[in-house]
Structure 1
């Protein structure tokens, strides 16, 4: 196994906002409490210890015990559950949707990052315990985002009507997906293991929540992963005072809006990941998950006939907290209220919206966690690596956008120099003399000189492009082989981890896949990992 690394800002796949966060840029330091370094966790441990009551631990423990009632527990997960009752235990959390058969590879990278960080923290702070948590996004209602996974270039999709929270959905219809998947897998030992895993998860469990819990537990239970479903009455009872501040006082809306304005006012002109709503909760009941909207003192449930006065909605929240589902703005707060958490691990988009939330957390008097960008990885086979070496392609080369990738390599391997930079510099020197001459004789000629300079530079650009196209035709075989391997490693001109399902790698590596990734991924290294096996 060979491991290489590349700075995130050299991959071309991460926003300026995220790259500046990783660089700890001073202009955005007010958006977070602690940069993700081991030594910075000491302050977060001290802060969380004084802000997380023992009563909350007891509720968390009992809730998890109930959720794990019909799940085969590993000794590691059993130990972690018991430790959650102790005041010296803290969590590291990642969250993800209930993607069919894990969806893209980065589902694994998120959880591995989380598990590995708890190991790093235990080494640095041995008197404390650290538990990795996978927060299942069971209340999400974007079925179209989770109802498929890719396998060998084909989309295996679960076709059915859906509404409301996806975690409540029955697994009806997944036998058809299993049949298509099984036929495509083949009959190797690793293929049979994948079939059994899919069958046991989705054909032996009634809901998508139960299926996903089983699947994640099978993959990561041996590492002590604890899987949490926030769609729970006992847990949501703790959310009531915070939901009241959001719904009836607009605290979240006001604070996040202020932060968004500050981000928009920065000279870097970062994009905004999410914007807050006046009310950041959905109403969740009987296949319905719709926004709560206030109009002139009446609270409407969008796309329904449900209406509440303020007093009625207050009563509904107090009597049925499970019916109030936090959106993307409120869910992070919910997580930090019910968990003794130190760090949230997420993708670039997630970290970007978490960076909008610190002032809201302060207004709610809830500690803000460390934010860590999950590990990202490109997995290359030994055969692919040899192809890259044969074509003299580096790791940095293959991350280039395809047109830049081809042009760069064509210039390198061409037997003529197709870089007109020296000619352009010479041209600029010549026109400098013409500008001086016009300045001294008749300034009205300056415009004509400028026009001529632009025309001649454009002519050089066009000639450079034509010669480059001619060389591409001449080196057509080289271009074809280059694009073939880049397309294989970056399907759809996107990161491999956003397309590839773990099953393709499992066919090759089998049970060694996850241990291999565990060894390769270092959560606090803050670089993109390239792994050759």
Structure 2
């Protein structure tokens, strides 16, 4: 595949905060550590003081992979994590059914590519790409569906616990529906087999997701972490205790959010007084301080402060960080220097910087993941034959239609000259009227406004009439927009990997690896050769 790069601004799809971060606006400098470039990453490496237990990390990962028989590059990277000159670059994501929207794939690719670039820049050090599975997240409704061929495939299941622990016993119907879309081509059969093995031969969603993602990316050395593990949580126990008892993160994050909002940026997340859930078996509920007791919401479970401290010490795995404390847990147990996320993630991580500083945990470089639009051959041909450039199709459909009609019509559709001439006449009338009676100038202005309004409406009618003559081209514009921007939004936010894999196979993934530039700062347009 070929690639073309355009600025994020040209897409009209990214927030002010993201664009200002890319453009190094000074208003944001207090909310992150180092710039997302090679100099910033070098500083992050230099200043990284990792206090976690590398040997425990490597040991846990070996156990998590023991039934997977991973590629040598994965096994080597797990071994390397035990060495002091090894660092990670990490992305995190929920356990979306069948990998969910395409942007998940793009997050992984960005992470892999950054690790490769860092190794080239620092050959004396090792860099391991990591996918942090959000196994403790309990919002099943966000991950239980996938969009293929304008249809939603859903996994129907009732749950309120950690999704990583969720049994896959009821997923067979969703797998069957997904296979039905994949078809009988060589590529379709391969991905269908992977999905069957992942979801029908593994007992829980964490293991299923690890199997599928590993098979897609193991050749690139991607290491997949499930941090729902007692030995890893133990390293975070002191911060869990301090934050639950003192409720520091709630106050600190609120102050940071206020500062961001004062600079014109929206908050993405809101902390709570206690930013941990109680996690046991299929239960994941908020911890609330009531009447000097720590109670678990919707249960009879409660603790005194002494009992709570003992519970954290004995069973740290039962304390699950929410969205504002999960990133800190990650940075405590991984020798991480960069986090790769989407626009909303980059924004909410910025709300957390002061909290990291308070707990003396190093804050990673924040990197916006690569975003891409795959433009199929048919759509590309349509765009060029209509006289547009590829990037023009980020404009709204109506604007594209208007541009095309103006370019291709021989009729006079704009009444600007006529409007100016009539306004000039009215100005002369107003001057004459003023000489007769000063109050008549108001009446003249009113008549002028009405006439301008009539001319504007007439111009719209002329345009609509001309559009009807070019129905074929305008329908073509509409169809291309719908193909490239399903539901009127970026392709990567709706479509699943399936259509890309069925049409292009492994070439799709390798083309992403080849063309994505993690430090390039641009949006990628992919065109099949």
Q: What TM bracket, shorter-length normalisation?
A: over 0.9
Cα distance in 2 for partners of 1:76, 1:354 equals 30
Structure 1 CA distance for aligned equivalents of residues 423 and 434 of structure 2: 16
385 and 435 in structure 1: CA distance in 2 versus 1, 3 angstrom threshold? same
Q: Which residue of 1 aligns with 2:245?
A: 248
Q: Paired residue for 1:71?
A: 68
Q: 1:432 to 1:310 in 2, by over 3 A?
A: farther
CA shift for structure 1 position 93: 0.3
The change in CA–CA distance for 1:197 and 1:455 in structure 2 (over 3 A counts) is same
Partners in 1 of 2:447 and 2:16 — Cα distance? 37
Shift of 1:495: 0.8
Output the CA distance in 1 between the equivalents of 2:350 and 2:433: 54
Q: Give the 3 Å change call, closer, same or farther, for CA 44–421 of structure 1 in structure 2.
A: farther
What's the counterpart of residue 371 of structure 2? Answer: 376
Give the equivalent residue in structure 1 for 2:234: 237
Measured after TM superposition, the shift of residue 483 of structure 1 is: 0.5
Instruction: State whether residues 284 and 324 of structure 1, in contact with CA within 8 Å, keep that contact through their aligned partners in structure 2.
Output: yes
- In 1, are the aligned partners of 2:167 and 2:205 still within 8 Å (CA)? yes
Match of 2:191 in 1: 194
Describe the SS at the equivalent of 2:53: helix
Q: From 43, 50, 63, give the equivalent of 1:52.
A: 50
Matched with 2:143 is: 146
Q: Secondary structure at the match of 1:72?
A: coil
SS at match of 2:95: coil
Task: State the Cα distance separating 1:302 from its structure 2 match.
Answer: 1.7
Q: Is the contact made by 1:411 and 1:419 (CA closer than 8 Å) also made in structure 2? A: no
When structure 1 is superposed on structure 2, of 293-302 and 435-444 the one drifting more is 435-444
1:46-195 counterparts in 2 under 5 A? Answer: 46-48=46-48, 51-53=49-51, 56-195=53-192
- SS state of the match for residue 92, structure 1? strand
CA distance in 1: counterparts of 2:202 and 2:371, whole angstroms: 31
**CA separation in 2, counterparts of 1:31 and 1:435?**
58
Name the CA distance, whole Å, in 1 between partners of 2:233 and 2:127. 23
Decide whether aligned partners of structure 1 residues 124 and 423 sit closer, same or farther in structure 2, where only a CA change above 3 A counts: farther
Instruction: Return the alpha-carbon distance in structure 1 between the equivalents of residues 106 and 290 of structure 2.
Output: 43
Aligned to 2:294: 299
CA distance in 1, matches of 2:367, 2:88: 14
* Residues 284-295 of structure 1 mapped to structure 2, 5 A cutoff: 284-295=279-290
SS in 1 for 2:68: coil
Q: Residue 397 of structure 2 aligns with which residue?
A: 402
Bigger shift: residues 505-514 or 437-446: 437-446
Shift, 1:438, TM fit? 9.1
Change (3 A) 1:305 1:26: same
Q: Name the structure 1 match of 2:33.
A: 33
TM-score (norm 2): 0.95
Unaligned stretches of 5+ in structure 1?
A: none
Q: SS state of the match for residue 372, structure 1? A: strand
Shift of residue 118, structure 1, vs aligned partner: 0.6
Change over 3 Å in CA distance of 1:420–1:199 after alignment to 2? same
Q: Is the 8 A contact 1:411 1:417 kept in 2?
A: no
Contact 2:370 2:517 in 1 (8 A): yes
TM score, norm. by length of structure 1: 0.94
Q: Of 487, 497, 502, which aligns to 1:492? A: 487
- Is residue 503 from structure 1 mapped to residue 498 from structure 2 by the alignment? yes
Residues 94-137 of structure 1, C-alpha deviation per residue, up to 9 Å, x if partnerless? 01110111011111100000000011111111111110000001
SS in 1 for 2:505: helix
Greater Cα offset, 485-494 or 455-464: 455-464
Deviations 1:13-45 (A, max 9, x none): 111111111111111111112121112211111
Q: What is residue 314 of structure 2 aligned with on the other side?
A: 319
Q: Structure 2 vs 1, CA of residues 154 and 450 (structure 1 numbering), >3 Å: closer, same or farther?
A: same
Change (3 A) 1:361 1:448: farther
Preserved contact between residue 35 and residue 370 of structure 1 (Cα < 8 Å): yes
Structure 1 residue runs of 4 or more that deviate by more than 4 Å after TM superposition: 420-454
Give yes or no for contact 1:84–1:90 (8 Å, CA) kept in 2: yes
Which whole-Å CA distance do the structure 2 matches of 1:257 and 1:367 have between them? 20
Please give the residue correspondences for 1:328-347 in structure 2 after superposition, counting only pairs within 5 Å: 328-347=323-342
Q: In structure 1, what is the equivalent of residue 478 of structure 2?
A: 483
> Per the alignment, do residues 459 and 194 of structure 1 end up closer, same or farther by CA in structure 2, a change over 3 Å counting?
same
Q: Equivalents in 2 of 1:118, 1:385: separation in Å?
A: 32
Residue 509 (structure 2) aligns with: 514
Which consecutive unaligned segments of at least 5 residues does structure 2 have?
A: none
Offset, 1:434: 7.9
SS of residue in 2 equivalent to 1:130: strand
User: What's the offset of the Cα at 1:277?
Assistant: 1.2
Q: 1:446 to 1:506 in 2, by over 3 A?
A: same
Contact 2:397 2:477 in 1 (8 A): no
Q: How many residues align?
A: 528
Distance 1:57 1:487, change over 3 A: same
Deviation string for 1:47-66 (max 9, x for gaps)?
Answer: 11xx213x521221111112
Tell me if the contact between 1:299 and 1:313 (Cα under 8 Å) persists in the aligned partners: yes
CA distance in 2, matches of 1:272, 1:224: 35
1:532 corresponding residue in structure 2: 527
Q: CA deviation at 1:69?
A: 1.6
- 1:206 is displaced (CA, Å) by 0.5
In 2, Cα distance between the equivalents of 1:440 and 1:246? Answer: 78
Shifted more, 376-385 versus 521-530: the winner is: 376-385
Tell me by how many angstroms 1:440 deviates. Answer: 9.5
Contact 1:8 1:527 in 2 (8 A): yes
Q: Cα–Cα, structure 1 residues 416 and 222, in superposed 2: closer, same or farther, change >3 Å?
A: same
